Amino acid sequence: MPSLKPWAAVVFLALAPSGCVSKSTHRKVLDELATTQGDLERCQAERDEQAAKLRATEDELNETRSARDAEAKARQQAEAQLDELQANLETTKDELAELRKQREATLKRLEAFRQLNEKFRSLVDTGKLAVQFRNGQMVLKLPAGVLFPSGKATLSKDGQAALKEIVDVLLQFKDRRFVVAGHTDNRKIRTRQFKDNWDLSTARATTIVRFMVDAGFDPKNLAAAGYGEHDPIASNDTPEGRQLNRRIEIILVPDLSELPNLTQQAQ
């Protein structure tokens, strides 16, 4: 006889042969019970199969969700990187524009330097004037002996003529700012008029400034400075070096627009 489930056994006992049930009926009931048990086991198997499929589907769904989340995270990271690259590109563009601006300013100064050299060619060739760049500034260097008698701050006749040639050219730049600096050698001077080399160098610079004002320069664009012997460009141990140190410098002050943005560099 087939093995029966517990509930089937109860039914079987309830329908156990008695005087009221025939053997054929009893057999029929047992067959039906066996059939029902088989159907139930098939349903259970189908249910287990469906549950397994459902779990597999849930696993696939979870994998899909994880993949989607990973894709979303990767997309966010890619967008963040793109934003960063865009910001870097804008910064690079700004830096490139600033470099181009600085380059244009440099070329502008070099062109002005070239033009001044051409205009001052005769004075440069005769050694009465030198045009150079120093510390980012254009400097016109004049030997003091060309302009002033020794120990004096009054222009000589030849000095007035040489200075007029220079000033006539500089008038093309009269809207720019200039600093006139006087320099001496280290030989000490002490007279009724000048107590030391600072006094002499400052007085000479002031004389040049007043000459430029009389020629048409705006006094607000001019400044006079005296360095005495404290800014030499050569050794004071030789006559040649001392002669080089005795000089007047007319310095063309750059516009702020020609210089790098110092505020940005400090950040």
pLDDT > 80? residue 115: no
Task: Tell me what the pLDDT averaged over the chain comes to.
Answer: 84
pLDDT > 60? residue 42: yes
pLDDT > 60? residue 75: yes
pLDDT > 60? residue 168: yes
pLDDT > 60? residue 165: yes
pLDDT > 70? residue 159: yes
pLDDT value for 20: 59
C-alpha pair distances (Å), 97 with each of 46, 93, 110, 129, 261? 74, 6, 20, 37, 12
Q: What is the mean pLDDT of residues 118-135?
A: 82
Q: What is the mean pLDDT of residues 190-196?
A: 91
pLDDT value for 141: 93
CA angle 210, 128, 123 (to 5 degrees): 95
Q: Higher confidence at residue 157 or residue 263?
A: 157
Q: What is the mean pLDDT of residues 226-234?
A: 95
| Listed range (39-43, 103-107, 201-205, 240-244) with the worst mean pLDDT | 103-107
Q: Higher confidence at residue 79 or residue 218?
A: 218
pLDDT value for 32: 83
Range 200-233 burial, b when 16+ CB lie within 10 A, else e = bbbbbbbbbbebbeeeebeeebbebbbbbbeebe
Q: Higher confidence at residue 47 or residue 122?
A: 47
Residue 49, phi-psi category: left (phi > 0), alpha (psi -120 to 50), beta (remainder): alpha
Task: Extract long-range pairs of 128-134: CB within 8 Å, 24+ residues apart.
Answer: 128/162, 129/162, 129/166, 133/109
Residue 224: strand pairing partners:
180
Q: Considering the entire predicted model, what is its pTM?
A: 0.58
pLDDT value for 265: 41
pLDDT band at 5 (very low <50, low <70, confident <90, very high): low
pLDDT > 90? residue 250: yes
Q: What is the mean pLDDT of residues 40-55?
A: 88
What are the phi and psi torsion angles at 101 (to 5°)?
-65, -45
pLDDT value for 143: 93
pLDDT band at 69 (very low <50, low <70, confident <90, very high): confident
